[in-house]
Chains A and B, each alone.
Chain A
Amino acid sequence: SQQGEEDPQALSIQEGENATMNCSYKTSINNLQWYRQNSGRGLVHLILIRSNEREKHSGRLRVTLDTSKKSSSLLITASRAADTASYFCATDGIIGYSTLTFGKGTMLLVSP
């Protein structure tokens, strides 16, 4: 079963706008990660946030984590056409201690 669930399933915005994606999960975690997948390619790690952290930044990315609500959000500011991709959250721990469980992803389309 899927641990993380992203919302929305799809998001369409214009260049320059901000994009926000949400992830909810079901059980306790050690950390939560966000990955990006360009069409037809492998996944690329974006950011990891630990369970004792509430917010983390990396360039135009901002991730928040609310362990009481079992949810996380990924904000991409000033979106560019090159940000068009699918975004996945992944949580650790429910199958072994060295694997991740992925959600179904949010497809982001950024139009010029």
Chain B
Amino acid sequence: DAKTTQPPSMDCAEGRAANLPCNHSTISGNEYVYWYRQIHSQGPQYIIHGLKNNETNEMASLIITEDRKSSTLILPHATLRDTAVYYCIVRVQGNTPLVFGKGTRLSVIA
């Protein structure tokens, strides 16, 4: 079973920042937080991952609380193409399968 809790849906205005929360209160010390997204009719796409420090790449930023029990994915300037289901996944690093929950359906509105 998924070890994360996410809101089922969120809306965001185009051009604004989208902040997607995730709770993972039972995360272990060696588990990372991963984010993937799935655009309609496509396979999931990797976004970002982190252990305890905040991370940033060309797609998004990941903010992890100090106690590591929750995190937030930030899309700084959401576009219509960011409309997708976003999955927060907790797992150890390595060749292990991804355990998906139901994710958050983000709708970016013009």
A binds B: no
Interface residues of B (CB under 8 A from A): none
